[in-house]
Amino acid sequence: MQDFLLRERQGVISERLRLNGRVLAAELALEFGVSEDTVRRDLREMAAAGLCERVYGGALPVSPAHGSLTQRIGFAADRKQALARAAATQIAAGACVFFDAGSTNLAIANALPAELELTAATNAPAIAAALIDKPAVNVILIGGMVDRQTGGALGAKALRDMEQISPDLCILGACGVDLEAGITVFGFEDAEFKRFATSRSRKVLVAVTSEKFGTAAPHSILPVARCECLVVEHDADPAVLARYRERGCWTVIAEKTN
């Protein structure tokens, strides 16, 4: 009977996550008539099974950003292109810009106007290849062992290379973006590199597709307040975006795709 009640609670939690985008342990405890410790134990078990992502006070849906870079490039390509066009308007001529690995960031690199003069650094060979075709862009490739999942160089060599650069803008890749959880990713080494890259940068920009918005992955990069610019899709909730702006995060809304 106890196991049945556990499965029943977890079924309700999964449905709440699907409908509301987050759950709070205190509210679930009242609803189920159990202690908050019991609910937190349920959430820990669900997180271990990959069914949710634990955050302070409750849980969020798990980010859907799985798969290799090659697989992700083909997903929602038109929406990423719309995000890319919006993000490109935030890049100033003459700046030094770091392009973090990621399929949306690759789209941003491709969307840059041919005449835009930049110094661009990246740890992603695919992004470097896209940028090298831009005649006004000077390209710095950060080296090291390339991680197949992220499509970017990670580890000690990449960190040493990044230490030589102080970008005006870091275009950061993300698996999840949430007001409370902040900017998160799945990989431990990826998170370490991203944290260092943002620490070297004057400003941070994140472009995020709607399915990543309001979700979390296991490893934190930085809080929302440290993200100076967030580029979102046309259907992002205005009330939610207002809360991001309250924390100092400028929001840019991409055009609707056909």
Per-residue confidence (pLDDT) for residue 2, from 0 to 100: 46
Structure tokens at 10: 């977890």
First to last CA, the chain: 51
Is the per-residue pLDDT at 1 higher than 80? Answer: no
Is the per-residue pLDDT at 117 higher than 60? Answer: yes
* Residue pLDDT, tens place only, 123-166: 999 999 999 999 999 999 999 999 988 999 999 999 999 999 99
Is the per-residue pLDDT at 4 higher than 50? Answer: no
**Share above pLDDT 70 across residues of the chain, in percent, rounded to a whole number:** 93
Write down the residue that tokens 């973006």 correspond to. Answer: 177
Is the per-residue pLDDT at 67 higher than 80? Answer: no
Average pLDDT of the residues in 83-106 = 96
237: which strand partners?
none
Considering only CA atoms, which of 218, 214, 207 is closest in space to residue 83? 207
Q: Would you give the distance in Å from CA 147 to the centre of its chain? A: 17
Is the per-residue pLDDT at 201 higher than 50? Answer: yes
Average pLDDT of the residues in 246-252 = 94
**What domains sit in the chain, N to C, each tagged with a CATH number?**
6-61 (1.10.10.10), 70-253 (3.40.50.1360)
Per-residue confidence (pLDDT) for residue 169, from 0 to 100: 98
